Structure 1
């Protein structure tokens, strides 16, 4: 391995970006500072952007004994849904923290080196305006907004960057004395400091600018700020390096994000009290099991929250969760997918008939049908009506019956990527309940010397660890199972990775039946 320039006793491997990924990501800057020796493997010549990258050797196989694999700086769903021992995640996270922000001076040096590297690339491209470049790994830091870290409560505007005493600290909470729990129980009760104020949780909100955009994220920010929570608003769409992603998540207790790869950043959330919570903002007609294996392996609570037609519980909910007709997204999918609207029944083929065609014959037929719709006024009027039905609030069963698999393919992509609302009052109330839980957890810790591990087991036992019906198998394997990936094990002894500890063996016998989350959010 050393002969081929391995990096820190292992290869780094980058696959090509997905075909439908239109975002210009950070690319070659992502890991260059952390892995300052060795090489990163890429599969195509056109992906080699720096001397840090190389094609695989053609005269020797490359084997991966263990790894954390992901898109950009996040853990990929396909990889992380495997039974990965928690030590791999912990070791990866801790090594990054030690390297980048063991002290504020180390972090400032990393930022200085990054900016110098970016300026060099900009100079090569004859474009000195760094703020306009979309693929800088520092964009997420520059664009992050902070609320309530300096002040507290209603009327506190967004702060300019991060609180100075917290910059570059691996454990910033230890320095945030105005919001730190007391180390003993007092007459003020658990979770209070000398002024009687509770330290509020840090809530991270991830926004996406294209698909799955949160339509009312600023309303959520306002409600949380007025409730006194510390809020960190983030976007990874214009570039965020590995170090920068881990840095932003290092103190986030509750992560709110549209379902997608950004939820994988939870591996960088703190593992101390309180137990971390992930809230996936899903579309009411489409949900996925993103990273539930990872979250349960790491001892993180996971819940899906929807705000749409299938989640209306009363008139007030319907008013604050209106259905959003995504015309631009629907039109974009029509250009990308094979469905052709506006056809009379006589011109529509069944799925079996289309599948029996050769690819060449089907392409020729599609070209003919598109030409027909383009030149027929009746077809255009019918296509407009069908498009309204296709992107409408109700499931378009008549179009599914007419167009078959093509309609289902469109709907799956459309429902997955449609912008969505957050049910702000319900979500704020739920995060308030997490605040109460964290104060109770702290009280138990102070009295009994408990740990986040034991507290997470209690959540599993009470059916409060994972919020979807498909969580049972994940919790059974990762927490209750004999080969659980969850627990506090030995980082140094690889042979013990993924094996249950004495503590976990004592706690697991009671987990005969694992239930999903019962909390209504």
Structure 2
């Protein structure tokens, strides 16, 4: 009798080492015949744990299909882009994505000003995906970009539509970083770099987000989250806050980071 109301039957586990309970089992060795069945493609992705890798030709076919889609001239996403230049040429093309809500970079205008002052003959597109961007307009915005800069998150996936050999830079918040996008970018021949700054100069206190996640935190707990990497506060709550919180870029350090990792800037 199913006292707990759990689903009947067993979960199929592919590796016998992962069978932990009586409700799990490995697949049978003998073939099973069905008169009618739905056959999927299996677990395919570009991450280490996937059963099957997505071949480059599948990526290329998908990108090609997206670029065949018609672009609407009144597209709000394309019309929201602001562009900045240093010099009369644009030998190196940057794009910076900034989000309005979570993971907002608070000092982007100062970052752009410093980059234009430091590097000659570059162009910088300031992109805002909150303005109704769809997959086609995203592909259009980044297809000729050399370096794409974005807060950590789905925006980094724009690298899918960038030319091979280009660079994506993830702007992480203090004490939070993850390498999920490394593997898809590697499969696409797009280089990804992580700008992880653990100094207070890269940190913003996002009280609105913190209150949304946990309104009962004491002032001492809030201070602990801001000043200590390891805290006594619930770990998952702290990780979610640090992942989604506003952030700053330490401009002086970031310029050095660009020079150290993008040698072509010095040759420009």
> What's the TM-score, normalizing by structure 2?
0.73
Which residue in the other structure is 1:415 paired with? 242
2:220 pairs, out of 386, 389, 395, with 386
CA contact (8 A) 1:260 1:290 kept: no
Inter-CA distance 261–387: structure 2 relative to 1 (3 Å threshold): same
Pairs aligned (count): 227
Supply the RMSD in Å over aligned alpha carbons: 2.9
Inter-CA distance 210–263: structure 2 relative to 1 (3 Å threshold): same
Which structure carries more helix by proportion? 1
The Cα shift of 1:390 comes to: 4.3
How is 1:47-446 mapped onto 2 (pairs within 5 angstroms)?
63-65=39-41, 79-81=45-47, 82=50, 83-97=53-67, 99-100=68-69, 110-112=71-73, 138-148=75-85, 152-153=86-87, 179=89, 200-226=91-117, 227-228=119-120, 229-271=122-164, 275-309=165-199, 321=201, 323-335=203-215, 340-341=216-217, 383=218, 385-395=219-229, 397=231, 399-400=232-233, 407-432=234-259, 436-437=263-264
Inter-CA distance 438–224: structure 2 relative to 1 (3 Å threshold): closer
3-state SS of the aligned residue for 2:214?
A: helix
The Cα shift of 1:264 comes to: 0.8
CA contact (8 A) 1:250 1:268 kept: yes
User: Equivalents in 1 of 2:144, 2:38: separation in Å?
Assistant: 36
Structure 2's unaligned 5+ residue stretches are 1-35
1:201-237 CA-partner distances (Å, limit 9, x unpaired): 1111111111111111111111222223210111112
The Cα shift of 1:79 comes to: 4.3
Which structure carries more strand by proportion? 2
> What's the TM-score, normalizing by structure 1?
0.40
1:296-323 CA-partner distances (Å, limit 9, x unpaired): 11222221112333xxxxxxxx6xx253
CA contact (8 A) 2:202 2:247 kept: no
1:240-284 CA-partner distances (Å, limit 9, x unpaired): 11110100011111111111111111010012xxx2111111122
Inter-CA distance 255–63: structure 2 relative to 1 (3 Å threshold): farther
The Cα shift of 1:330 comes to: 0.5
